[in-house]
Amino acid sequence: EADIYQTPRYLVIGTGKKITLECSQTMGHDKMYWYQQDPGMELHLIHYSYGVNSTEKGDLSSESTVSRIRTEHFPLTLESARPSHTSQYLCASRDSASGANVLTFGAGSRLTVL
């Protein structure tokens, strides 16, 4: 069972609200990622982090922001949610020391913005 946890699993909110999606991993992995997944579409990388205080934007432009203050924690924040932000958000992590390019995913946070 994956040791990476996302909360909330489901969230329905109104336009303009601020939301934070939480992601925590207990594996001590240095690299963490946020992907956005829409039905029938490939996963798109929106943010990644190579370690504490390191964050980068991914390939897909996103109005969200992330922070990495602790190794195990990588929250994603939307300051003002809009219906276009409705999607599934997947958090993942990887141990770069293992040499294997394998991601461990959380169960996802499904966001609906009305």
Partner 1 sequence: QKEVEQDPGPLSVPEGAIVSLNCTYSNSAFQYFMWYRQYSRKGPELLMYTYSSGNKEDGRFTAQVDKSSKYISLFIRDSQPSDSATYLCAMSGMDSSYKLIFGSGTRLLVRP
Which residue ranges make up the site for partner 1 (CB under 8 A)?
2, 6, 40-43, 45, 59, 90, 92, 94, 100-108, 110
Closest distance between partner 1 and the C-beta of residue 22, in Å? 14
In sequence order, what DSSP letters do the residues of the chain get, joined into one string?
---EEEE-SEEEE-TT--EEEEEEESS--SEEEEEEE-TTS--EEEEEEEETTEEEE-SS--S-EE--SBTTB--EEESS--GGG-EEEEEEEE-GGG-----EE---EEEEE-
Instruction: Report the residue number, 10 or 83, with the smaller CB distance to partner 1.
Output: 10
Instruction: Report the residue number, 19 or 23, with the smaller CB distance to partner 1.
Output: 23
Closest distance between partner 1 and the C-beta of residue 79, in Å? 25
